[in-house]
């Protein structure tokens, strides 16, 4: 027997319609790409323009299910494209303009994008891309006629002219809420990029969950500045959650240096912002250097990679800004956890509270987690056992676009499907998760796991160590044993025995590295991350001592 | 093209499973009906017992879709029944024990309840009801063996014995999220009671929306005491939202007097509570009389009927407790609006902010509203035009159980279906709604509407008026014209002319009542509300002067 409730699908168009009807006068402010000036309008105007754009895209031949790509920074036109494309039944495919042109071409061809919208300062990139793109029929420069780039791009249209040619008469269509809405590719370290294809349903449920008090805590009293790019997992869903909550949005455009951000924060009364640690490092350096303060900022979300403990402390103690340490994945829309306190923690001491904030937090309602050992057996949630983190929930992928990479899911004994995150973690009895390692980096010794990250953190705490990487090497008895590969600080002395001595008392005996190998430098990826894959290849002929 | 996201239905069992897995140690505290003692356990234990109960109900013959009724106060066993019944695919039908036995029998027979669970102090009522109930096969007394009532009730079972007979091995089934989960009857002033049949989907979406910062703002840092009964529209959804957020819950049992509530608030560290104005009147009287303070309470939700302006002020100014003025209906699961501020209101003066708080607020994301005139034409959202309030959204009924009362929905020009609330309201450009009248009470004069409530409020502001009711009477030219029916205060003089003079300058000229009729008393309903239906019948032979 079914309930007798209105059968209303969860559609992205309802977000912007809601914002128009109930928060029509609330502002969307953008630092423009054209000249750095500030553009200012309301949800009501954004809705009107999004409807005109939806009509214009129809005129360019975009049909239900067609992909419309963007190469764009955070701004109001990008926001309009989000709603126009998904709202009309298309799929918005946001592409990171910082990828190599060959990667972009691969992704756009794999996605079979029909239209590509781009910010005008990316025109040279698009000019280079155009000959490689096999399916794009129209290019849209996101500007007015006067600013149109003088680039040799076939089928080039002017965004504002497209809108001007349309009247505002457009009703958002209704359809199955499981319809695809957004496409984001992950750039895995191995294999081809894989596309996560979000639905209207998953996006809407994520929008609800992300706004909850124990997640990002968003309301109509907030002014939100998403530093995280709109090409990076939908700016962590903020363009959706903000519309749902009627929060004022401030789009920072292209310049994310500390001074530009601080000025915008103060001018627009920003209460909450979200970005990766690198951005906050820059901001905090400027703040300190120029002795600046925040007048309205109450919280920052730090995600993308682990929030450094000192950064959490600086925000909270020096600036009175609450840090929300968050974790997610492209495959998770992206939010999985946010680190907020429970009632019991009010009684905890300051240092214990900071220790908790270094964890990635606990799940948003809707996401479930479990940790499993190598055989898929669930491990206890005791804060000690660590294993592969698996997740499930309505905004987590069931597979990748066009079946790329095969079926990623693992079934449990009850037949429920889980997505393996590739992280090795502990979960404490209160549900707080600590990342211990990446699955591919964890060292399996005698049937037990050793965290390479823990061992690296100890090594770099030694005053003579500049950088360290811990990897597992084959061992006849224990399968794998850890070794530390170390770059000494210039002019410092450090022996194998010195460093091993330094580990004593800090770890269980069986975690003790078998050897220390000194090198002049460690391999890194293009984005500056330590590349253990390359390191393992470099060390493939290494023999354990004895 | 569908998205590639996990196809996971929104099921009520996931709420208690989530609370167990991620907030397992968080407490549920109950003042028991048996002896007023305090019972204390955790979400983990509640989940274990709910699963055993689900198995036990299966043993009593409850099958998918079967209705299980409750006659019970707010307590942990009632909470377990919520989850056991809905989680296992049944429908929980909560009945108000304060209705007349004949009304209860009508409702239970209409619902075709299979099992009836009751708190033991309601055993005399159940004994009286049993012969009238045609479909109930089993009665469950919510107590341990020792407390079993000595009542003549056929097929009587002991709750704790049922649980003890089961092991904990039970996996919640998975099914279509649109499956019926809960049934609540509305007691309309005319016609038979009508059942609102909620689904798992509607309940889960409501649980998300109700917890948002602009709704009830619930988190794992909260301790929530629902004064609003669990037999009254699922205690406004709190038993669901609290489990979703991992908030500690305090169930007050049967005694809702000021002293009992204040003691529980202080003992358990309650941060938020929710109830009707009558309850808060009692609490505030006790607070004042005994010079008490709140140590932990941060907010109260006031709903069910309009929050009196003085009550809002007292809570906020004397006790530092934020008032959340809320509005909803059984047909809306029930939350429709909550009165929270927007960013712009931070700059408003105190009196303007209070004036705003007297409104019922703005919609939760998921609910849409519109106001229409008599012909169904949408009226502007300008804070001035008033018309019939219609609502739509995924937790609003599309009809009543077994088709009672026919199709309640109205279609708009675009073919979208709206539920008419029966309230006459204004909506301002920021979305804040003010209730002006009930549809059936509004006076239609010369094609325009006059608010009977506004005219009554002015009359009762006169020092010589004890009570007043305004109704429309037939008028040959204007269709209807308002008259005031007044009860004078004992020993006070008041003439027709005095009162009409009192209206001058306070209303538009065409709103001026045509006449004043003095009576010794006004008719009231069983629950103490003014009965305009009866008054209109009493006045049916009344002739306008002139």
Contact residues, chain A, for B202 at CB < 8 Å: 3, 5
Contact residues, chain B, for A404 at CB < 8 Å: none
Whether B395 and chain A come into contact, CB under 8 Å, resolves to yes
Whether A414 and chain B come into contact, CB under 8 Å, resolves to yes
Element (H, E) at A238: helix A238-245
Whether A390 and chain B come into contact, CB under 8 Å, resolves to no
Q: Which tokens belong to B16? A: 């208690």
Residue with tokens 């004036």: B355
Residue with tokens 């009836």: B116
Q: How many whole angstroms separate alpha carbon B403 and alpha carbon B398?
A: 10
Other Cβ atoms closer than 10 A to A222:
26
Which of B80, B268, B331, B456 is an active site residue?
B331
Give B496→chain A minimum CA distance, Å. 44
Q: How many whole angstroms separate alpha carbon B426 and alpha carbon B449?
A: 12
Q: According to the model, what pLDDT value does residue A207 have?
A: 98
A5 with B181: Cβ contact below 8 A? no
Query: Which of B457, B438, B464 lies closest to B518 in space, CA to CA?
Result: B464
Could you list the beta-strand ranges (E) of A129-227.
Answer: 138-141, 156-158, 180-186, 194-199, 223-226
Cα three-residue angle B327-B331-B336, rounded to 5 degrees? 30
Are residues A273 and A227 in contact, defined by beta-carbon separation less than 8 angstroms?
Answer: yes
Size of interface A-B (CB pairs under 8 A): 224
B5 with A214: Cβ contact below 8 A? no
Strand partners, B518: B486
Other Cβ atoms closer than 10 A to B491:
6
pLDDT higher than threshold 80 for residue B99: yes
Are residues B522 and B535 in contact, defined by beta-carbon separation less than 8 angstroms?
Answer: yes
Q: Which tokens belong to B206? A: 């409501």
3-state SS track over B170-192: CCCCCCCCCEEEEEEEECCCCCC
Model confidence over B405-462: pLDDT tens digits? 899 999 998 889 999 999 999 999 999 999 988 888 889 888 788 989 889 989 988 9
Cα–Cα distance list, A65 to A88, A137, A180, B501 (Å): 9, 15, 7, 67
Are residues A396 and A332 in contact, defined by beta-carbon separation less than 8 angstroms?
Answer: yes
Q: Which tokens belong to B521? A: 């008393």
Per-residue pLDDT in tens (0 to 9) along chain A, 546 residues = 999 999 999 999 999 999 999 999 999 999 999 889 999 999 999 999 999 999 999 999 999 999 999 999 999 999 999 999 999 999 999 999 988 899 999 999 999 999 999 999 999 999 999 999 999 999 999 999 999 999 899 999 999 999 999 998 999 999 999 999 999 998 765 678 999 999 999 999 999 999 999 999 999 999 999 999 999 999 999 999 999 999 999 999 999 999 999 999 999 999 999 999 989 999 999 999 999 999 999 999 999 888 889 999 999 999 999 999 999 999 999 999 999 999 999 999 999 999 999 999 999 999 999 999 988 999 999 999 989 999 999 999 999 999 998 999 999 988 899 999 999 999 999 999 999 888 888 898 887 889 898 899 899 889 999 999 999 999 888 889 999 999 999 999 999 999 999 999 999 898 999 999 999 999 987 666 788 889 999 998 999 887
Whether B368 and chain A come into contact, CB under 8 Å, resolves to yes
What is the secondary structure of B379-435 as a DSSP string? Answer: PP-SSS--EEEEEESTTSBSS-GGGTTS---EE-TTS-EEEEEEEEEEE-TT--EEE
Residue A54 gets the label, from left (phi > 0), alpha (psi -120 to 50) or beta, of alpha
Rg over CA atoms, chain B:
25
Q: Which tokens belong to A171? A: 């009703």
Alpha helices in A60-130 (DSSP H): 76-87, 101-111, 123-129
Query: Which of B436, B452, B535, B450 lies closest to B460 in space, CA to CA?
Result: B452
Cα–Cα distance list, B28 to B24, B75, B192, B251 (Å): 11, 9, 37, 8
Q: Which tokens belong to A142? A: 């996101």
Helix count and strand count (H, E) for chain B: 17, 26
Are residues A48 and A204 in contact, defined by beta-carbon separation less than 8 angstroms?
Answer: no
Are residues B213 and A219 in contact, defined by beta-carbon separation less than 8 angstroms?
Answer: yes
Mean pLDDT, residues B385-404 taken together: 96
User: Which residue of chain A is at minimal alpha-carbon distance from B395?
Assistant: A5
Whether B205 and chain A come into contact, CB under 8 Å, resolves to yes
Are residues A248 and A9 in contact, defined by beta-carbon separation less than 8 angstroms?
Answer: no
Contact residues, chain A, for B246 at CB < 8 Å: 214, 342
**Cβ burial B210-228 (10 Å sphere, 16+ → b, else e):** bbbbbbbbbbbbbbbbbbb
Query: Which of B344, B414, B211, B385 lies closest to A23 in space, CA to CA?
Result: B344
Q: According to the model, what pLDDT value does residue B306 have?
A: 85
Which of helix, strand or coil describes residue B249? strand
Strand partners, B411: B417
Contact partners, residue B271, CB within 8 Å, separation at least 6: B221, B222, B223, B224, B296, B297, B298, B299
Length of chain B: 546
Residue A350 is a catalytic residue: no
Beta strand A115-118 with A138-141: parallel, antiparallel or unpaired? parallel
Are residues A500 and A482 in contact, defined by beta-carbon separation less than 8 angstroms?
Answer: no
Higher-pLDDT residue of B544 and A131 is: A131
Model confidence over B495-508: pLDDT tens digits? 999 999 999 999 98
Q: Which tokens belong to A19? A: 């914002």
Q: How many whole angstroms separate alpha carbon A370 and alpha carbon A297?
A: 35
User: Which residue of chain B is at minimal alpha-carbon distance from A248?
Assistant: B343
pTM confidence score: 0.92
Query: Which of A107, A105, A151, A156 lies closest to A129 in space, CA to CA?
Result: A105
pLDDT higher than threshold 70 for residue B199: yes
Model confidence over B136-159: pLDDT tens digits? 999 999 999 999 999 899 999 999
Contact residues, chain B, for A343 at CB < 8 Å: 26, 220-223, 247-248, 269
Q: Which tokens belong to B282? A: 């009692």
Q: How many whole angstroms separate alpha carbon B336 and alpha carbon B361?
A: 9
Mean pLDDT, residues B254-268 taken together: 95
**Average pLDDT across chain B, whole number:** 94
Segment 294-353 of chain A within 8 Å of chain B by CB: 340-343, 346
Element (H, E) at A245: helix A238-245
Q: According to the model, what pLDDT value does residue A508 have?
A: 87
Residue A510 is a catalytic residue: no
Which of helix, strand or coil describes residue A273? strand
Higher-pLDDT residue of B168 and B212 is: B212
Are residues A31 and A78 in contact, defined by beta-carbon separation less than 8 angstroms?
Answer: no
Residue B383 gets the label, from left (phi > 0), alpha (psi -120 to 50) or beta, of left
Contact partners, residue A190, CB within 8 Å, separation at least 6: A533
Whether A396 and chain B come into contact, CB under 8 Å, resolves to yes
Q: According to the model, what pLDDT value does residue B7 have?
A: 95
Q: How many whole angstroms separate alpha carbon B303 and alpha carbon B301?
A: 6
B219 with A214: Cβ contact below 8 A? yes
Length of chain A: 546
Contact residues, chain A, for B22 at CB < 8 Å: 362-363, 430-431
pLDDT band at B530 (very low <50, low <70, confident <90, very high): confident
Contact partners, residue A520, CB within 8 Å, separation at least 6: A487
Q: How many whole angstroms separate alpha carbon B274 and alpha carbon B216?
A: 9
């Amino acid at each position: 027997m079914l309930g007798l409730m209105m059968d209303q699908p969860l559609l992205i168009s309802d977000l912007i319609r809601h914002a128009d009807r109930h928060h029509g006068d609330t502002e969307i402010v953008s630092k423009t790409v054209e000249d750095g000036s500030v553009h200012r309008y309301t949800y009501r105007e954004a809705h009107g323009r999004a409807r005109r754009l939806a009509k214009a895209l129809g005129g360019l031949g975009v049909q239900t299910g067609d992909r419309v790509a963007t190469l764009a920074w955070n701004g109001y036109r990008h926001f309009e494209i989000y709603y126009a494309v998904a709202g009309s039944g298309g799929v918005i495919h946001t592409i990171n303009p910082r990828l190599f042109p060959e990667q972009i071409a691969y992704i756009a061809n794999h996605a079979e994008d029909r239209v590509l919208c781009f910010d005008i300062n990316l025109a040279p990139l698009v000019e280079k891309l155009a000959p490689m793109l096999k399916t794009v029929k129209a290019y849209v420069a996101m500007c007015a006629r006067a600013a149109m780039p003088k680039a040799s791009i076939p089928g080039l249209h002017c965004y504002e002219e497209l809108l001007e040619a349309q009247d505002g008469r457009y009703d958002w269509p209704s359809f199955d809420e499981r319809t695809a809405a957004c496409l984001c590719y992950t750039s895995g370290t191995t294999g081809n990029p894989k596309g996560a294809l979000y639905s209207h349903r998953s996006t809407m449920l994520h929008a609800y969950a992300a706004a909850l008090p124990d997640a990002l805590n968003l309301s109509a009293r907030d002014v939100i500045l998403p530093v995280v790019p709109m090409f990076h997992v939908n700016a962590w869903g903020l363009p959706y959650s903000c519309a749902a909550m009627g929060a004022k949005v401030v789009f920072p455009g292209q310049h994310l240096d500390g001074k530009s951000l601080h000025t915008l924060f103060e001018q627009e009364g920003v209460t909450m912002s979200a970005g990766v640690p690198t951005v906050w490092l820059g901001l905090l350096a400027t703040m300190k250097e120029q002795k600046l303060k925040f007048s309205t900022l109450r919280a920052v979300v730090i995600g993308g990679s682990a929030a450094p403990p000192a950064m959490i402390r600086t925000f909270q103690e020096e600036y009175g800004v609450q840090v929300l340490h968050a974790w997610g994945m492209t495959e998770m829309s992206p939010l999985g956890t946010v680190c907020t306190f429970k009632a019991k923690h009010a009684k905890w001491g300051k240092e214990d509270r900071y220790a908790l904030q270094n964890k990635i937090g606990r799940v948003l309602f809707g996401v479930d987690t479990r940790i499993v050992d190598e055989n898929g057996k669930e491990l206890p949630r005791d804060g000690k056992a660590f294993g592969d983190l698996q997740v499930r929930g309505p905004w987590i992928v069931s597979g990748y676009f066009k079946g790329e990479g095969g079926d990623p899911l693992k079934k449990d004994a009850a037949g429920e499907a889980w997505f393996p995150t590739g992280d090795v973690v502990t979960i404490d009895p209160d549900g707080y998760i600590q990342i211990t390692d990446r699955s591919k980096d964890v060292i399996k010794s005698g049937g037990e796991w050793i965290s390479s990250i823990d061992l690296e953190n100890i090594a770099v705490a030694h005053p003579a160590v500049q950088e360290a990487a811990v990897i597992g090497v084959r061992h006849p008895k224990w399968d794998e044993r850890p070794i530390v590969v170390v770059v000494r600080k210039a002019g410092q002395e450090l022996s194998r025995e010195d460093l091993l001595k330094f580990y004593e008392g800090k770890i269980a005996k069986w975690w003790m590295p078998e050897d220390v190998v000194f090198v002049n430098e460690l391999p890194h990826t293009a984005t500056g991350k330590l590349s253990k894959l390359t390191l393992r290849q470099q060390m493939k002929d290494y023999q354990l001592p004895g």
